[in-house]
Structure 1
């Protein structure tokens, strides 16, 4: 077993032990019996992180703190789309990026990871690859001594950099100290080896990489070569069409799993229905095949969506 996965298992065992300590004392019930009060308290321990009321996490981790909100429902739709993809294998290592700064890539990456961790059959590892402007450890109310940058420079081992969160099936690999050479670190052989190692034994775990913006840095272009799929975040009313076009040119089209339109006001129903159809928040396109080289319905539908998006962006040519 690799050191990375030993670290993940260690984090999960520590989390389970901590949760067990927080359980209420015995109520005198027979073994196997659980009172309704116990169920409620156990659920609260598992689902509520210990983050200050005024912390950044409360406003940004909407799937966590506002599970019944419209935004949370859109992330559940996004999760559902990802979990059913077969192209030809399910994409378990996913990079989330944007064209420019301020479009909400970290917001999408964090909430997607929380959503996957909430799913019954899967776990999630969230990796903060934004070494220039890291934020995820603060969002989860965690203090980091070391992180990804330290690991890439040989100053930290797996057990030191992977943090357990209060969420039962979510771990975090924080960015670590802000380095002077983020491009070189993300493009290093050690980073490539880390991504490849995380791909192993990922049958029940999704790995979400929060990367830097495509047009502002070169790191996501390098990272995109190693991951299974890419999600591009676009800010509604902010990202110009030309900017989206330039961003799409920098990554492999075959790896694009979808585009998330962030910050959409659902009260503008005309834009909602005309531009993004019934899903609104998530516009999916990509590629997939059935066995024996036969085109699948999924491939046909997503190719049509890609053609529609290309048309709206003013791109010429057809999707392959």
Structure 2
């Protein structure tokens, strides 16, 4: 257990390190803490904190830096995030995918780090499907979901189809299968294709296959602002750190697992790099929050940045953005 003096010094050290990014010496700490303590007393307290694994002394400096454990104690017991008004634009709710993309960009712009949003798991039900002839043996499939999302896919075929044939096929699908899942439509077509003219039946099977692929290719994790890490001194000075961070963004399945863990907890959660396998890199931390549609949690969003990030501001940014996304998506229905 830390006494009040040790807590104040640890809080001052973490805040100073977050602000400056350089190891904090006892003289700097004396000024930052506002405590009337001798340098010897401060050094003794810092030595105790180091023995407890809360701070560490880089071999190149006499100052100290917080460890993952120190950050965790700071976040859990010392951080008071004031829920002040943060100037955030509203998220236009015209299309759900656009809301998700805008949210990732908003998180990145406000934090100056990386914004990440796990999109809601999508239904493969279509409300409307349309085919548009582009050129010989090439047409566009346009799929509209019940929520108003629009997906497009270009299809190449062995047979050329006229626009009137494409209209006939789309009319048949809309009249008989609208509101069903694409996979159900595909199975029904297999059994019913005999009753259709062979060329139209083949066309619809090809189009439904393309629709299924288009819907499955929707980004499950949207990331914005990776390049912001180039300007963070913690990464720009060590390309191996930066490379590992970018590898994480490339491996979206790992990010998906991380965000799914976050979605199981209410409110804003903070994952500090190095304290567990949740965030595998010591240099990175994640501030995340689930968001809802009509009261039900459907996804997670957050900010990924250096362990040395201003957590109080990140909490505000993530919390407010989660509320904006929840409101925008809930107004869809």
Q: After TM superposition, is the score higher than 0.5?
A: no
Q: Whose radius of gyration is greater, 1 or 2?
A: 2
Higher helix share: 2
- The TM-score bracket by the shorter chain reads under 0.3
Please report the TM-score for the alignment, with normalisation by the length of structure 1. Answer: 0.26
Please report the TM-score for the alignment, with normalisation by the length of structure 2. Answer: 0.25
